[in-house]
A and B are shown apart, each in its own frame.
Chain A
Amino acid sequence: MKDSVKLFIDQRGLDLRALITEGDQILATAVLPGPLGSGSLQELVAALVASSGRKPEHAHLLISNEQVKFSTYRLQEMPLADIEKIVQRSMTTATSEKEPIFRLTPLAPQQDKDVYLAEQIPREALDRLRQLFTDARLPLTFVSTGLQANLAAFAPQRENIIQAQAIFDISQDAVAAIFISPTDILHQEIQLIPETEQGTGDADDAGRGLKRRLFAILNVIHGLYSQYMLTNPLAPVEKVWLCGPGAEIAGLDASLVDAMDVEVAAFDLLAGRVEASRSFTPLAGLVGAKNPVNFISAAPGKSLPLNSKTFMQVAGSLVALLCLVVVGSSFLTVSRLKKQLATTQSELQPLQVAAIADQGRAASLRFLQKLDQTAPPLQAIFKEIADRLPREIQLDGINLRQSDEAGTLEVLAVTRHKTPWENERIFTALMTALDGVDNLECKQNPDIAMLRVGEEKMIKIKVTCQTTSVKGGSVQ
């Protein structure tokens, strides 16, 4: 996997020190005058990009000592989580910050009590720094302190300590001292270097100025050492390590050997690889460290609500969008159906008008159609009547009335009146004969009348029947 390109910036002191790395490889270094601002940051990045040819993907920062609040806590032995809660409560009370950003570093126990050094970075300062880097389109992913950087840089050396050793990280304006044993941090302190008088500018004056500054640094270191010896008389310092830009002053090592009678060594992780390498030691310690202390990861409370808020906003927007889509599609469907209905109605209207106008014509046409289909088969009826008539009865006439509703056929018949009666069932025989004729229904009773023709008496019978069509049913 390709290593990411990182930018490391040391904000401490008057100058900004930076190096750009790819994996463990240092590509370039740069030193520019501080303080850290948007202009100086862009200038620093531009210089490093120009010299390395690579653009950093994210930034690591060693925050200035002024922005770190140090406090020491002496507590009974208890789990670290409980200690953190106590410290957090204490800081909240002192600073009114709900979730203070801090890290605890265990120091050497004193009088059966655990001692912790708390380094707190105000949230406001951290937010400002993150915004500064965000504006420069470079995400700030790591923030640490000089103490943590030096401890990380010195970690490989700790196993060689017998009693105690000291690291003096000397910047232009202060000396940070760390007295360290194989197991504990015995003492840590930062002291400002008093300002020395500026010379007139000639060579002699410059030389005197350097000496004055050397003496000032020696004085501060001596003071720190004396302070340490007062509190830790049983752990004398066997070796002193010097790093930071102030350690580059000529004659400091020798003067320190003379003054303190201890072994002095350069704490220089980049010796021979870059110019003024001792000033980059804390940064180099961060580059090589496996799990350096990061103050940004200790501030998750800030980003989570922001993410959560963003998530809620996105979710709310999606829900609103969904609602809009659902409501919109519903209204569109109804609107489309209304249009469709209007179209159908407009198509139906002329059909309805035409149907009303054609009502009479349609009825007339149906009448004509029915007329041809429902005519009673008169020939067949007459033939059957003639065939079925009993011998004693003669057909006297037929009257047919055919209307729209019904067809009526009157059959007039005569028979001789004889006494005694020869065929008493003559009337029923006639009715049966007529009833059996197809397409003829004879349900009414016959009309019977007497008729005298000359000397002969005749019986006249009239039977009224209904005609039906071939297809069945009365003719209508």
Chain B
Amino acid sequence: MKQTILFCLIGLLLTGGIYLNRQQEAGRLRAEETRLQADKFLLQQQATEIAELAKQLTGTTDVATFTEALYSCARRTGIRDHEVITTRVNAEQQARGKRNRSKGATLSEQQLEVVLTADFRRIAEYIDQVQKLGHHQRISKLTLTPGDKQLKATMVINLYSLGEPYVR
């Protein structure tokens, strides 16, 4: 009888030890699981966000259309002396400073130089209309210098796109 009680006590102690050990392991695994689930949720959210942005922003640079739009802006604002020339194509194999070689990650850049002559009010209005054209463009350089009677504006417009340039 004493042996049975002794065995029972030893068994209970061993069981308690094993149980505590397993509980600790289970707690660690649960914490790990929670962390992984959070990571997974974050990555899924990011993937959804990227997919949504890609749907909205992905497209090719259409220089011809944009140039026509620039002339249209000039006509609407009454600017007669208006010239547009393309300068260079810059396809960056990087994502604004980060390494990236995956398909569709190439951010291509097209520069256009616009030279126009008009009074200050018309130039300001023209710039406003250009800024409203969209096409992921930025006026990266603008110089206003006084001419004979009017101001001469020289501007560089950068066109960005996530896709091959010159493809309509």
Contacts and interface: CB of A to CB of B under 8 A. Distances in A.
How many chain B residues sit at the interface, stated as a range, is 35 or more
A344 B40 contact: yes
A397 B11 contact: no
Interface of B: 1, 4-5, 7-8, 11-12, 14-15, 18-19, 22-23, 25-26, 29-30, 32-33, 36-37, 39-40, 43-44, 46-47, 50, 53-54, 56-58, 94-102, 104-105, 107, 120, 123-125, 127-128, 131, 134, 136-146, 155, 160, 162
15 contacts: A312-B4, A315-B4, A327-B19, A337-B30, A344-B37, A347-B40, A354-B43, A355-B46, A358-B105, A359-B100, A363-B97, A366-B53, A372-B134, A378-B131, A382-B123
Contact of A382 (B5, B53, B96, B127): B127
Given A316-B7, A330-B22, A369-B53, A400 B142 contact: yes
A363 B98 contact: yes
A367 B4 contact: no
B8 to A, nearest CB: 5
The 9 closest A-B pairs by CB, nearest first: A360-B100, A360-B95, A330-B22, A379-B128, A400-B142, A363-B95, A337-B29, A361-B105, A360-B105
B40 A361 contact: no
A372 B136 contact: yes
A474 to B, nearest CB: 14
A190 B101 CA distance: 119
Given A354-B43, A355-B47, 15 more contacts: A308-B1, A316-B4, A319-B11, A334-B25, A337-B30, A345-B36, A357-B102, A361-B50, A361-B102, A361-B162, A364-B105, A364-B162, A368-B136, A379-B124, A401-B141
Contacts of A386: 120
A447 interface: no
Contacts, number: 184
Contacts of A322: 15
A323 B43 contact: no
B95 to A, nearest CB: 3
A183 to B, nearest CB: 47
A368 B22 contact: no
Contacts of A344: 33, 36-37, 40
A398 interface: yes
B140 A341 contact: no
A360 B18 contact: no
Contacts of B15: 322-323, 326-327
B46, B47, B95, B134 — most chain A CB neighbours (10 Å): B95
Given A319-B11, A327-B18, A369-B53, A360 B99 contact: yes
A312 B40 contact: no
Interface string A383-398: 1001000000001111
